[in-house]
Amino acid sequence: MKEHVYILIDGRIWREKNTLVFSGKAHKFVIPVKKISTLHVFGNVTISSQTLKLLSKEKIILHFFTHKGKYLGSFLPSKKEGGKHRLKQYKAFTELRCKIAKSIVESVKNSMLHFIKTRY
């Protein structure tokens, strides 16, 4: 069963193969990523980009807090379909824009023809 992990002391987290290693002033321990669902970090903790890559790959959410517990922000793993979904949205938006532009041009043309017929 995956569990929430709380880091309450200052230190550093880095990736070693497919595990996380935490090192503080007097503590050093290994955190197996397969057992983590959420990582809560309080205080000053340095995290490497490779660690963030591993957390994203394993779908682990990372929350940051101050020493006093004030929420600072979160790192949420990206969704695999996010990029493909965004491209589909752009394509649909472009097609909709073309359809609207064509109807505007058609309306302007009809308006001009009507104006010419009524004036001349």
- 65 C-beta neighbours (distance < 10 Å), count: 17
State the Cα–Cα distance between residues 1 and 68, nearest whole angstrom. 29
Report the share of the chain in percent with pLDDT over 70.
98
What are the helix (H) ranges across the chain?
49-57, 82-119
User: What mean pLDDT, rounded, does the chain reach?
Assistant: 88
This prediction has a pTM of 0.63
Domain holding 21, by residue range, is 3-75
Per the listing, tokens 């990372």 go with 62
pLDDT in tens, 8-30: 999 999 999 889 999 988 889 89
Together in a domain, 18 and 61? yes
Together in a domain, 55 and 103? no
Residue 9: which of 34, 46, 35 has the closest Cα?
46
Together in a domain, 83 and 56? no
Together in a domain, 69 and 25? yes
Per the listing, tokens 């193969």 go with 17
Say which CATH number the domain at 10 has.
3.100.10.20
pLDDT in tens, 46-84: 999 999 999 998 999 999 999 988 999 999 887 766 677
Residue 2 pLDDT exceeds 80: yes
